[in-house]
Amino acid sequence: MQDTNISTQLWQLEGHSCTAIFLSRDNKVPSLVWLGSRLSTPESQNNDELANLIDALTDRPSLLASPDHSPILSLLPQSATATLAMPGLLGHASGRHFSAYFELQNVRQSSSVTAEQLEFILLDPVAQLEIVLRASLHRESGTLTLSTTLTNAGTEVFELQWLASATIPLNAVQNELLTFHGRWGLEMQPERNQISAARIQIENHSGRTSHQHFPAAIAGPAGFGDGSGNQESSSNLLGMQLAWSGNHRVLAEQLSDGYNYFQIGALLQPGEIRLGAGESWTAPAAHVVAARDLNQLSQCFHCFARREILPAWSRSPRPVHANSWEALYFNHNIDQLKQLVDAAAEIGAERFVLDDGWFRHRRDDRAGLGDWFVDESIYPDGLHPLVEHVRGHGLQFGLWFEPEMVNPDSDLYRQHPDWALQVNGYETPLARSQLVLNLAKEEVHQYLYERMAALVEEYRIDYIKWDMNRNLVLAGDGQSAMAAEQPRACYRLMEQLQQQFPALEIESCSSGGARADLGILAHCGRIWSSDNIDPVERAGIQRGFSTFLPAEILGVHVGSERAHLTGRQTDIHLRAIVALQGQYGFELDARKLSEQDRRILHHYTSLYKNSREWLAEASHWRLPTVNDKLLASGNVSSCQAYSLWNVVMLAANKQSLQGALVLQGLKKGASYRIKYEALNTQQLAGFAVTLPAWMTTELVVPAELLMRIGLQLPVLPAQSGLLFSCTRVD
């Protein structure tokens, strides 16, 4: 890394199609003045000239009854500069140094094959605080990563209350904020709000990413959407997501001085971060994308996750899962399990996962968590007979854990009640009859590592389904708050296991999608998106997650005819069509399938296996439809030779016909063979006199026609689906 002269006050980071420009005036904290499509400037113009031009263009008039010099919105707003924005740093040293004032001391710029980086070193000599602002632009995806490190350069303890990961200015037309919210079983539901003087401030206090508030936001013009597939270069949207699996805050507001902005960071509990002399704390990274529409924004985030975040093993072909939970729940029986394995292998499963109930005292969800020893009363010979049976079918073996939790009714808790998160003098309320272990405590970390490593080694476990089924309440070590330590302690435990067992794969499950973010995904290559596998609900949940996370890492399973969570009955075609929207698998009792259903599942399973390699690098497209009861999306291979499209009709619509489905992302000038892939044409034929010709006859159609005129949809009853492929004809 090479130091550069601080007299240059403009810095550019260049991606393949994106530019980020930072500007500092008079050695003040830099501001992000442009993030968007790549800018072209005359080759003859040097950096100083460009700095002066941008300085002139962004210079704001001073206002009456305001500071003499109107403050520019910086990467770290400071109350000492009289900014009206939420300060990027809040804290104090015994009530003093509550309002820091930083100046730019040095800048370091570097580059790698994949990214260009900047480090801005800031100092407040009075408060004796140092901040390093890091900015990195990923060349391929155009994703800008921002992070902030605070160091106490003095001798007094500094109590940190808030350190923003990113503060991003918005332009005048980016006045609508899209965020995602939900609950258990109904995650990632979109919500839009106008950015106004009434600050939008979303806070998550659950101690995990949460079902309620996804740590991300997207700002754009009112009514912005997925887009029509045009290739305009304008950057209408700004989206950011926080790589953090704990408490967080997202805020956006319109200031009276004309600035619109949004800010994101980890939300700290009182007294949680106390920095002694020389100590530092780094805020979680925020990842920011500028895009013309939501489809392009998603594709940028997906590319970044694939290249920079996800473990390498997530890039290999993803196996078909069969999970034992909804088939047997806690009713573990070795003979029934072997029969379940046989039936799952018959319909194409490649990995069998033994879910909750295999360890000591675990006959229901009220006892046993923490006692990570195989229950000898159920498995007198350990798991070896079952594992050997699984391996005999050529399947991988996976095992469920909930390492961070403990039941009061467990040997572990009876021996070590002080290992649970707690606050002296208060009784911690139970959730699912369990408490949370203090993972930052070395004895806890060592116990969990030793027990999990011993089981992975003994049974050659390929895969861990890592669950977390409750929020953090009274998350302390007896005296001090510890919520911010939990996510990083969890990351460390996962990292240590994967260093010991490099082939081990881990899924993040947290009552479904309550821990799904780019922080946990550095260690987990699969997300269990929701405990709700009702395909009607799951289609919308998957759509929400697809905004930020690539489809191939989102676990989606074919469930039972009657959904266990909602009680809704759906046909096997719809369940399989929705399961093909992500990493395909089974969450049903395959022993009870009819011969016809087995044949049907063979078809859809084979389709997944034949497509999964190109799906792992595909661009995802959400398609516009006539109303929100009709969801349509597809994936197009990186070479644009293959694509797979699905349509889900959630509920009855007042119109009989749903119009045409206009595709996106195909190669212009090419032609594509259309093939209807679902086996439900006979079922759909009963709802109209005829079906559209493309559903019953393979047609070869120019891409231009598919992306302009589209395909006329059939009459679709409520809770039905379509599935078709487009293969380029060379």
Q: Which of 15-29, 344-358, 443-457 has the lowest mean pLDDT?
A: 15-29
Residues 6+ away with beta carbon under 8 Å from 170:
195, 219, 238, 252, 259, 260, 261, 262
Contact status, residue 106 vs residue 99, Cβ threshold 8 Å: no
SS3 70: coil
The number of domains in the chain is 2
**Active-site choice (462, 467, 517, 534):** 467
Can you give the CATH number for the domain in which 660 is found? Answer: 2.60.40.1180
Structural domain contains residue 563: no
Per-residue pLDDT at 576 exceeds 50: yes
Q: How confident is the model at residue 206 (pLDDT cuts 50, 70, 90)?
A: very high
What is the identity of the amino acid at 567?
G
For residue 3, the model assigns a pLDDT of 46
For residue 55, the model assigns a pLDDT of 79
Task: For tokens 């206009």, name the residue.
Answer: 662
| 223: DSSP letter | T
Q: Of 258, 286, 308, which marks where a domain is finished?
A: 308
Model pLDDT for residues 585-602, shown as the tens digit of each residue: 999 999 999 999 999 999
For residue 72, the model assigns a pLDDT of 81
| 399: DSSP letter | E
The arithmetic mean of pLDDT across residues 687-706, rounded, is: 95
Q: Of 308, 328, 358, which marks where a domain is finished?
A: 308
**Active-site choice (124, 226, 371, 531):** 531
Pull the structure tokens for residue 434. 């369990």
172 vs 499, higher pLDDT: 499
Name the phi and psi angles at 107, rounded to 5.
-135, 135
Q: Which residue segment(s) compose the domain that 724 sits in?
A: 621-729
Per-residue pLDDT at 6 exceeds 50: no
Structural domain contains residue 348: no
Per-residue pLDDT at 2 exceeds 70: no
Contact status, residue 673 vs residue 603, Cβ threshold 8 Å: no
For residue 228, the model assigns a pLDDT of 63
> Quick check: is 411 catalytic?
no
For residue 4, the model assigns a pLDDT of 44
Structural domain contains residue 689: yes
Structural domain contains residue 187: yes
For residue 656, the model assigns a pLDDT of 84
The arithmetic mean of pLDDT across residues 488-502, rounded, is: 98
Q: Which of 65-74, 192-201, 445-454, 648-657 has the lowest mean pLDDT?
A: 65-74
For residue 523, the model assigns a pLDDT of 97
Per-residue pLDDT at 232 exceeds 60: no
Task: For tokens 């973010």, name the residue.
Answer: 517
Contact status, residue 263 vs residue 164, Cβ threshold 8 Å: yes
> Quick check: is 467 catalytic?
yes
> To the nearest whole percent, how much of the chain has pLDDT over 90?
89
Structural domain contains residue 463: no
Structural domain contains residue 266: yes
Q: What does the DSSP assignment read for 83-109? A: --SPPSEEEEBTTB--S---EEEEEEE
For residue 210, the model assigns a pLDDT of 97
| 362: DSSP letter | -
| 513: DSSP letter | B
Model pLDDT for residues 545-574, shown as the tens digit of each residue: 999 999 999 999 999 999 999 999 999 999
Q: How confident is the model at residue 21 (pLDDT cuts 50, 70, 90)?
A: very high
Q: How confident is the model at residue 182 (pLDDT cuts 50, 70, 90)?
A: very high
Query: In 637-698, where do the E strands start and end?
Result: 642-649, 660-661, 671-676
How far apart, in whole angstroms, are the C-alpha atoms of residue 68 and residue 171?
A: 23
Q: How confident is the model at residue 425 (pLDDT cuts 50, 70, 90)?
A: very high
The CA-atom distances, in angstroms, between 206 and each of 268, 484, 518, 659 are 12, 11, 17, 43
Q: How confident is the model at residue 7 (pLDDT cuts 50, 70, 90)?
A: low
How far apart, in whole angstroms, are the C-alpha atoms of residue 661 and residue 578?
A: 18
Can you give the CATH number for the domain in which 63 is found? Answer: 2.70.98.60
Model pLDDT for residues 44-84, shown as the tens digit of each residue: 678 788 888 887 778 777 777 676 666 789 999 998 887 88
The arithmetic mean of pLDDT across residues 281-286, rounded, is: 98
Q: Of 308, 333, 350, which marks where a domain is finished?
A: 308
How would you classify the pairing of strands 405-406 and 435-436?
antiparallel
User: Whole-number mean pLDDT of the chain?
Assistant: 94
How far apart, in whole angstroms, are the C-alpha atoms of residue 728 and residue 730?
A: 6
Q: How confident is the model at residue 195 (pLDDT cuts 50, 70, 90)?
A: very high
Per-residue pLDDT at 329 exceeds 70: yes
Contact status, residue 584 vs residue 730, Cβ threshold 8 Å: no
Per-residue pLDDT at 233 exceeds 60: no
Residues 6+ away with beta carbon under 8 Å from 5:
none
Q: Is the pTM of this model over 0.85?
A: yes
For residue 69, the model assigns a pLDDT of 67
Q: How confident is the model at residue 211 (pLDDT cuts 50, 70, 90)?
A: very high
The arithmetic mean of pLDDT across residues 618-631, rounded, is: 95
Structural domain contains residue 416: no
Per-residue pLDDT at 283 exceeds 50: yes
Per-residue pLDDT at 1 exceeds 70: no
Per-residue pLDDT at 623 exceeds 80: yes
